[in-house]
Amino acid sequence: MPSEADAALGARTPTKGEVVMPNSPRKMLLAASTGGHLHELVRQTEYLRPSDDSLWVTFESPQADSLLRGRRVMHVPYVRPRDYVGVARAIGRVHGAIRGERFDVAVSTGSAIALAVLPVARMSRIPATYIESVCRVDGPSMTGRVLAGLHAADLRTQHASWAGRRWHAQPSVLATYARRLRPLPDRPLRVFVTLGTIEGYRFDALVDQVLRSGLAGPETTWQLGFTDRDDLPGRVHGHLAPEEFARIALEADVVVTHAGVGTLLGMLELGIHPLLVVRRASRGEHVDDHQEQIADLVRELRVADAVEIDDLDAGTMVEAARWEIVDRVDEPALAGRAA
């Protein structure tokens, strides 16, 4: 029998690997942290079909400004992973903003911001749906487990392998892409190294390995985020505006980056086959080791190359440069020929 949120989305409860499109656009309350979570939610709108008067709740950032240009947006203060004090502050902002406004459904892809929005939506009699991040290959995140325990939302996973009674299947945002071969340039590779924008976590190990590869030089561009360095050849940036970031990525022969969902989705949408390097909690590079799951997933789907830090070298960078990405939706014939 359809759940309350399924009914609001205009869909019956899907079987494994299936989703039913809503009959018409719905006014939605859409919430996601910046980075991969927001990128996934924007990509999921292909299935969700929000109306133009839907409201997006996220953090203020250049990425959010770019992805949500022309849409209704409410910014809340940044909430770090597992920052429950920050969640409590955001709850008050969300409750005050949506009071008196009617929504057909609330949808979030996480992370902590889902805990500030979906329970408030349920208390306001708005059907709520939580779509777990595509990086959660083996089971739900902490946010997903909390929401399940609170019975605060209908639950969806992008991996049919662990869909079940409580978690229904939702199409993966990564399954819409494929790769195909392209010729290598007859000159030294132009390398773009981008480490994402996650606050408080450096990734010096990746930078050092690129330097050891021998491929870094005057034509290399670095976007370091919070990994500030003064010993690098080429052009060095802390952060880049989205338009500049896209231009540099498209001009590069290979993009080396961390295994973050936001960066990955951004690369795939640009048609770029990136080389992902896993951040590890043991080196102080992330809060946990979930990037290992992202690496396993992209290897399985063959939409990127992914390595541990010790395997990042000139050979893996050249191999990643041999491929480009096509969109299965836009170019199904090309995708069918992808290796």
Q: Which two tokens stand for residue 11?
A: 């869909």
Residues 139 and 225 both lie in one domain: no
> Last residue of a domain, which of 169, 194, 223?
169
Query: In this structure, are residues 325 and 178 in contact, taking their beta carbons and an 8 Å threshold?
Result: yes
- Residue by residue, what is the 3-state secondary structure of 67-106? HCCCCEEEECCCCCCCCHHHHHHHHHHHHHHHCCCCCCEE
> Last residue of a domain, which of 169, 201, 234?
169
Q: Which two tokens stand for residue 230?
A: 């003064």
- pLDDT tens-place string over residues 141-187: 999 999 999 999 999 999 988 999 899 999 888 888 999 999 999 99
DSSP character at residue 120: H
Give percent above pLDDT 90 in the chain.
67
| Res 232 pLDDT > 70 | yes
Q: How confident is the model at residue 324 (pLDDT cuts 50, 70, 90)?
A: very high
Range of the domain at 117: 4-169
| pLDDT on residue 99 | 86
Least confident range of 17-21, 62-66, 209-213, 217-221: 17-21
Residues 146 and 236 both lie in one domain: no
Query: In this structure, are residues 123 and 45 in contact, taking their beta carbons and an 8 Å threshold?
Result: no
| The residue to which tokens 């299965």 are assigned | 328
| Res 12 pLDDT > 60 | no
Q: What is the rounded average pLDDT of the residues 310-320?
A: 98
- pLDDT tens-place string over residues 184-202: 999 999 999 999 877 889 9
Residues 11 and 54 both lie in one domain: yes
Residues 31 and 137 both lie in one domain: yes
Higher pLDDT, 200 or 2: 200
| pLDDT on residue 103 | 95
What is the number of structural domains in the chain? 2
First to last CA, the chain: 40
Measured CA angle at 19 (ends 18, 21), to 5 deg: 145
Residues 17 and 145 both lie in one domain: yes
Higher pLDDT, 34 or 176: 34
Q: Which two tokens stand for residue 14?
A: 């899907």
Residue 298: count other Cβ atoms within 10 Å of its Cβ: 23
Residues 163 and 220 both lie in one domain: no
| Res 268 pLDDT > 90 | yes
Select from 144, 261, 252 the least CA-distant residue to 198.
261
Residues 148 and 208 both lie in one domain: no
Q: Which two tokens stand for residue 323?
A: 């491929």
Give percent above pLDDT 70 in the chain.
90
Q: How high is the mean pLDDT of the chain? A: 89
Least confident range of 81-95, 196-210, 264-278, 282-296: 81-95
Bridge-partner residues for 323, per DSSP? 181
| Res 319 pLDDT > 50 | yes
| Res 207 pLDDT > 70 | yes
SS3 content of the chain, % helix, strand, coil (to 5): 35, 20, 45
Residues 161 and 123 both lie in one domain: yes
Q: How confident is the model at residue 70 (pLDDT cuts 50, 70, 90)?
A: very high
Q: Which residues contact 141 (CB under 8 A, 6 or more apart)?
A: 110, 111, 132, 133, 290
Higher pLDDT, 211 or 335: 211
| Res 138 pLDDT > 90 | no
Q: How confident is the model at residue 24 (pLDDT cuts 50, 70, 90)?
A: confident
> Last residue of a domain, which of 169, 199, 229?
169
Residue 322: count other Cβ atoms within 10 Å of its Cβ: 16
**Coil vs helix vs strand at 237:** strand
Q: What is the rounded average pLDDT of the residues 114-133?
A: 94
Q: What is the rounded average pLDDT of the residues 9-36?
A: 68
DSSP character at residue 183: P
Q: Using CA atoms, how far apart are residues 114 and 82, in angstroms rounded to an integer?
A: 12
State how far the alpha carbon of 192 is from the alpha carbons of 263, 268, 334, in Å: 13, 15, 26
DSSP character at residue 310: G
Q: What is the rounded average pLDDT of the residues 207-234?
A: 97
| Res 330 pLDDT > 70 | no
Residues 297 and 229 both lie in one domain: yes
Query: In this structure, are residues 243 and 221 in contact, taking their beta carbons and an 8 Å threshold?
Result: no
| pLDDT on residue 11 | 46
Residues 131 and 181 both lie in one domain: no
| Res 16 pLDDT > 60 | no
Residues 185 and 328 both lie in one domain: yes
CATH number, domain containing residue 182: 3.40.50.2000
Burial class of residue 245, CB neighbours in 10 A (0-12, 13-18, 19+): buried
| Res 50 pLDDT > 60 | yes
Query: In this structure, are residues 27 and 54 in contact, taking their beta carbons and an 8 Å threshold?
Result: yes
Q: Identity (one letter) of the amino acid at 111?
A: S
Burial class of residue 330, CB neighbours in 10 A (0-12, 13-18, 19+): exposed
Least confident range of 6-10, 96-100, 272-276: 6-10
**Coil vs helix vs strand at 144:** helix
| pLDDT on residue 339 | 52
| Res 118 pLDDT > 90 | yes
Residues 138 and 62 both lie in one domain: yes
